[in-house]
Amino acid sequence: MSVMKVGVAGLGTVGAGVVELLVRNQAIVAARAGREIEVVAVSARDRGKDRGLDLGGVRWYDDALELARDPDVEVVVELIGGAEGTARALVLAAIGAGKQVVTANKALLAIHGTEIGGLAEAAGVQLAFEAAVAGGIPVIKALREGLAGNRISKVVGILNGTCNYILSKMRERGADFAEVLAEAQKLGYAEADPSFDVDGVDAAHKLAILAALAFGRPVAFHDVHIEGIRRISALDISFANELGYRIKLLGIARETPAGVSARVHPCLVPVGHPIARVEGVFNAVVAVGDAVGQIMLEGRGAGAGPTASAVVADLIDIARGRATPVWGAAAEALSAQPSVAIGALKGAYYLRLMVVDRPGVIADVTAALRDSAVSLGAMLQHERAPGEAVPVVLVTHETTEEQMRAALDRIAILDTVLEEPALIRIELG
């Protein structure tokens, strides 16, 4: 068969990794793909930059959109990133030109995925995005193909390596968020502006994609409830540990009778659950299906190698002619299940207050919980410092988010409660 000619737009760490991997494992890739796969064109901003790649004989486009118009390019690999601008324009142009597309762009898929999926379907081209979620772990393939016979009830993931690294280090060293973030930035595990990662937006993009695939419905990023990890303290990690939990930033999507619930926030996870032990920059995805039961996939969620592994797997699928609808089923076969809001959530909560250590304080707090119909499972208070602020931890039984919010409002007006309470949901218990 003829060589499959590929154009790569974006030559950052991942783009360079893809070009390098296709050369390094050329024979393996050709055997698996049934064809040679060759990068014939690239596009990036800085031609002069040394990327350690031999790009002799490869056409260079300053304008990525020209790459999409190159008649010699059969597959466009979009590694520019971002939901808008060049990345989006390139993907639309490539589909418009009838080319196959591979992308690692979770923001684009989370926000414009329904539109883009519809265009790809209408044009009869593949839009592959294994690299968009959990790096080299073949989780898109697992949900879209490997578990396709199941009714999936739940998907849970550690989807952001930066957050998991920060939380792991905070626990190991008893250090606070700001200190570990600064270190992660020095090591290149966190961006100069870390908000995309630490505020949970990146994880929410990925969860929106997983939820769409798991439940067979259009991607709904704006319905994902998002909280990040900035307010997690060393104190809470230490209390969680004492109670037999790890604090993890999880993406959780569930099918409920009322619709699909999707949320990203810090969670207390029992240490006995396998996902609690996924540490550092590793990602993991747990899926529960009616036939398969619970499965978990774990590996590196980012970096040049893992991401290139996913992009090349997509290229091999395209070379073999293995085609799958963007969202697992044709657009018309997707379900119209509504999203449910966070207020409807039921679960147990960890609540940590800073209270003035004097008689009657605990009685006031527990009365506020009782008045909101929240029942208490455990309480921890170690320090004594009469007249000063000490931490008190309360663990609730199952309650609703709405009742918990009502209790917090009642607690907020107590003058013995100092600082804003720390409230963390307990999951997978």
Catalytic residues: 206
Under rule CB under 8 A, residue 313 binds a copy of itself: yes
Whose tokens are 């050709």? That residue is 30
Q: Of the candidates 352, 351, 419, which has an alpha carbon nearest to the alpha carbon of residue 388?
A: 419
Ranges within 319-348 binding a copy of itself (CB under 8 A): 320-325, 328-330, 333-334
Q: Please state, in angstroms and rounded to a whole number, the distance separating the CA atoms of residues 363 and 74.
A: 70
8 binds a copy of itself (CB under 8 A): no
Shortest Å distance, C-beta 263 to a copy of itself: 24
Binding to a copy of itself by residue 136, rule CB under 8 A? yes
- What's the one-letter identity of residue 177? F
> Of the two residues 299 and 347, which places its CB atom closer to a copy of itself in the complex?
299
- By CB under 8 A, the residues from 237 to 296 that bind a copy of itself are 274, 277, 289-296
- What minimum distance in Å lies between the beta carbon of 242 and a copy of itself? 21
Residue 253 Cβ, how far from a copy of itself at the closest point, in Å?
Answer: 16
Strands 4-9 and 75-78: parallel
Nearest-CA neighbor of 243 among 384, 381, 403? Answer: 381
Query: d(Cα 134, Cα 138) in Å, to the nearest integer?
Result: 8
Q: Least distance from C-beta 296 to a copy of itself, angstroms?
A: 5
Reported residue count of the chain is 429
Q: Which one of 99-107, 262-270, 308-316, 373-381 is the stretch in contact with a copy of itself (CB under 8 A)? A: 308-316
Cβ-Cβ contacts under 8 Å for 373 (sequence gap 6 or more): 399, 403
**CB within 8 Å of 415: residues ≥ 6 apart:** none
Pick from 171, 206, 300, 352 the residue near a copy of itself by CB under 8 A: 300
Distance between start and end Cα atoms, the chain: 53
Nearer to a copy of itself, 151 or 222 (CB): 151
Q: Is residue 126 near a copy of itself by the rule CB under 8 A?
A: no
Does 315 sit near a copy of itself (CB under 8 A)? yes
**CA 337 to chain CA mean position, Å:** 22
Q: Is 59 in the site for a copy of itself (CB under 8 A)?
A: no
216 three-state secondary structure: coil
User: Using CA atoms, how far apart are residues 104 and 110, in angstroms rounded to an integer?
Assistant: 12
| Min dist. Cβ of residue 140 to a copy of itself (A) | 9
Quick note: the x/- pattern for a copy of itself over 196-225, rule CB under 8 A, is --------------------x---------
Q: Is 67 in the site for a copy of itself (CB under 8 A)?
A: no
- From the list 203, 152, 206, 201, the residue with the least C-alpha distance to 337 is 152
Cβ of residue 357: shortest distance to a copy of itself, in angstroms?
40
Nearest-approach distance from CB 375 to a copy of itself, in angstroms: 33
Does 148 sit near a copy of itself (CB under 8 A)? yes
Q: By CB under 8 A, how many residues form the interface with a copy of itself?
A: 64
- Measured in whole angstroms, the distance separating CA 315 from the mean position of its chain's CA atoms is 23
The single residue listed with the structure tokens 């569930």 is 254
Is residue 174 a contact residue for a copy of itself (CB under 8 A)?
Answer: no
* Span of 98-106, 203-211, 307-315, 393-401 interacting with a copy of itself by CB under 8 A: 307-315
Among 275, 266, 288, 309, CA closest to 14:
309
Q: Are 229 and 198 in contact (CB under 8 A)?
A: yes
Separation in Å, CA 247 to CA 205, 262, 265, 298, 307:
21, 19, 10, 18, 26
15 binds a copy of itself (CB under 8 A): no
Per CB under 8 A, residues contacting a copy of itself are 17, 21-22, 24-25, 28-34, 130, 135-138, 141-142, 144-151, 216, 274, 277, 289-300, 305-306, 308-313, 315-317, 320-325, 328-330, 333-334
